[in-house]
Chains A and B, each alone.
Chain A
């Protein structure tokens, strides 16, 4: 058990909809990272927050946004969903903002019908 909790485990929705994925980091970790994993693109870094502030941005679409709350949990919002957004979305956490081992949750599997 990594200590990182992601909810929900599965999401099935339709194109054009909006969903929110939630992540609770490991106790004491200040950094939260979001990744998207698909068969064709592999593991893609989306965005990082450190102690409530955005720290780094990767291949995140404008339709996607995230935030980290004062209690350090994070949410990833995906809107105007397209079929190609179907993927596994992982959250990871680490105690510092870079060059540290990351601890991954078990992911949210998003299926767009």
Chain B
């Protein structure tokens, strides 16, 4: 079964707007990771946040983690058409490999 579940399933915005995607999970984790997948390509690692961290930034990306609610969010600021992709969260629990959710499809229109 999938550990992480992304919400929404699909998101459509205009260039320049912010995009927020959420991820919920069920069991204790060591870390949570976000990946991007362009159509038909391999996943690209974006950011890793450890269970003792609450927020992390990387360029236009901001990730938050709330372990009490077992949830994370990915914020992409000032979206560009090139950000159009599917975004996946994946959880790592130390004793097993990463478990990926089904992803959020983001469409950024010019």
Q: Do A and B come together as binding partners? A: yes
Residues of A in contact with B (beta carbons under 8 Å apart): 2, 4, 33, 35, 42-43, 45, 48, 55-56, 58, 88, 90, 92, 98-107, 109
Contact A2 to B44, CB < 8 A, known contacts A42-B2, A45-B98, A99-B31: yes
What residues of A have a CB within 8 angstroms of the CB of B48 in the complex? 101
Contact A90 B43 (CB under 8 A): yes
Contact A102 B98 (CB under 8 A): yes
Q: Which 4 A-B pairs have the closest CB atoms?
A: A104-B42, A101-B45, A99-B92, A42-B102
The secondary-structure label for the interface of chain B is: loop
Q: Tally chain B residues at the interface, Cβ within 8 Å.
A: 24
Residues of B in contact with A (beta carbons under 8 Å apart): 2, 30-31, 33, 35, 40-45, 48, 88, 92, 94-103
A15 to chain B, nearest CB (A): 24
Known A-B contacts: A43-B100, A98-B94, A101-B33. Give 10 more (CB < 8 A).
A42-B102, A43-B43, A45-B100, A56-B97, A58-B97, A99-B31, A100-B92, A101-B48, A103-B45, A104-B35
